Amino acid sequence: AQSVTQLGSHVSVSEGALVLLRCNYSSSVPPYLFWYVQYPNQGLQLLLKYTTGATLVKGINGFEAEFKKSETSFHLTKPSAHMSDAAEYFCAVSSGTYKYIFGTGTRLKVLA
């Protein structure tokens, strides 16, 4: 069975500060990992994904995430927060099939 835990349902950062959203997973098979972002009244948009290969994955809007097998983590980071980054972020894991297991989401607030 697979599961995802996102630590912190709400995270606040100042504009220009580092963004760090935490995601830990559990999987009995090599995981495939995803981060999605959801802006108000919009669908989920894929930020980045890890399948195989390089463990540091770069996505859209300056976000990146690093797959750390030893820590079972896939934390999302961005060096400098922008007001437009305010949204809800979801981490998801898959065993390589269509069935994604999502975390409960982290709502990011960016303070001016």
Partner 1 sequence: GAGVSQSPSNKVTEKGKDVELRCDPISGHTALYWYRQRLGQGLEFLIYFQGNSAPDKSGLPSDRFSAERTGESVSTLTIQRTQQEDSAVYLCASSPGLAGTLTDTQYFGPGTRLTVL
Residue 30 is a binding residue for partner 1 (CB under 8 A): no
Residue 12 is a binding residue for partner 1 (CB under 8 A): no
Task: Identify which of residues 17 and 38 has a Cβ nearer to partner 1 in the complex.
Answer: 38
Residue 89 is a binding residue for partner 1 (CB under 8 A): no
HSE-CB for 75 with a 13 A CA cutoff: 12
Residue 97 is a binding residue for partner 1 (CB under 8 A): yes
Secondary structure tally for the chain: helices H, strands E: 0, 11
Residue list 31-60, contact with partner 1 (CB under 8 A): 32, 36, 41-46, 49, 51
- Quickly list DSSP for 57-108: EE-GGG-EEEEEGGGTEEEEEESS--GGG-EEEEEEEESSSS--EE---EEE
Beta-bridged to residue 51, according to DSSP, are: none
Q: Residue 110 Cβ, how far from partner 1 at the closest point, in Å?
A: 21
Q: Measured between alpha carbons, how far is 56 from 3 in angstroms, rounded to an integer?
A: 21
Residue with token string 């195989």: 52
- Count of chain residues binding partner 1 (CB under 8 A): 25
Task: Identify which of residues 39 and 79 has a Cβ nearer to partner 1 in the complex.
Answer: 39
Instruction: List contacts with partner 1 (CB under 8 A).
Output: 4, 9, 32, 36, 41-46, 49, 51, 90, 92, 94, 96-105
